[in-house]
Amino acid sequence: MKNYILTTILSIATSNTLISQELIIGEERVNPGIVFIFEGAIKDIVYPENYNLAEELTDIHIEARVNWDTQNIPKGTPAGGFIPYLKINAVVTNQRTDLKTYVDLIPHINLVDNFHYARNISLPGNIDDKYEVEFFINNPSKFDLSFHKDWIDDYSESLIEDKLFKYLDISFSEIAKLSRR
């Protein structure tokens, strides 16, 4: 009986580890106190299905977790809170063949990361190849976000400056071989 209980506990712990395992591509901090964590996650079923790549056609779930930091943040900001309205695009380039996948990351929500920007993608090549990954961060448009005078007085007429983050020699091999089910 003890072996059965131990086996059950280990199975649950292992399955939860696989579900939450993610490849950290990079982490960046920018003014005014925003943290970007870029990840390659295990492919998943994402709804609505007609707007997201089907799990069986997907190699990885590429993510950008974008949150307020826990220190040195604007007054009134919820520490660790999600940053909405950004326009985030990624280009994944196969370093062997130069084939590219372009993708817009859109807001998602799940029970592991809560709100994040993400998309299921098919890699432009073999899962064992090395990839360059570029993340383009664009400020919300004037139609997506308005600013009160106090924000403009202390910061500017934008949330952040547009940014480009580039990472080389990324291996998605391990994460692409995993499954959530």
Q: What pLDDT score was predicted for residue 20?
A: 55
Indicate the pairing of strand 130-138 with strand 87-94: antiparallel
Q: What is the pLDDT of residues 55-114, one digit of tens each?
A: 999 999 999 999 999 999 999 999 999 999 999 999 999 999 999 999 999 999 999 999
Q: What pLDDT score was predicted for residue 18?
A: 42
Give CA–CA dist 181/166, Å, rounded. Answer: 31
Question: Amino acid letter at 101?
Answer: T
pLDDT band at 14 (very low <50, low <70, confident <90, very high): very low
Q: What pLDDT score was predicted for residue 141?
A: 92
CB atoms under 10 Å from CB of 120, counted, come to 21
Report, as an integer, the average pLDDT of 19-26.
84
What is the residue extent of each domain of the chain?
2-176
- Residues contacting residue 93 through CB under 8 Å, at least 6 positions apart: 99, 100, 124, 131, 132, 133, 134
Q: Which helix (H) or strand (E) holds 152?
A: helix 149-154
Judge if the upstream peptide bond of residue 48 is cis by omega within 30 degrees of 0.
Answer: yes
Q: Residue 46 corresponds to which tokens in the numbers above? A: 């994402």
Give CA–CA dist 149/140, Å, rounded. Answer: 17
At 20, is the secondary structure helix, strand, or coil? helix
At 162, is the secondary structure helix, strand, or coil? coil
Q: What pLDDT score was predicted for residue 181?
A: 86
Q: What is the pLDDT of residues 116-169, one digit of tens each?
A: 999 999 999 999 999 999 999 999 999 999 999 999 999 999 999 999 999 999
Q: What pLDDT score was predicted for residue 21?
A: 86
Q: What is the pTM of this model?
A: 0.87
On whether the CB atoms of residues 109 and 115 are closer than 8 A, the answer is yes
CATH code of the domain made up of 2-176: 2.60.40.2480
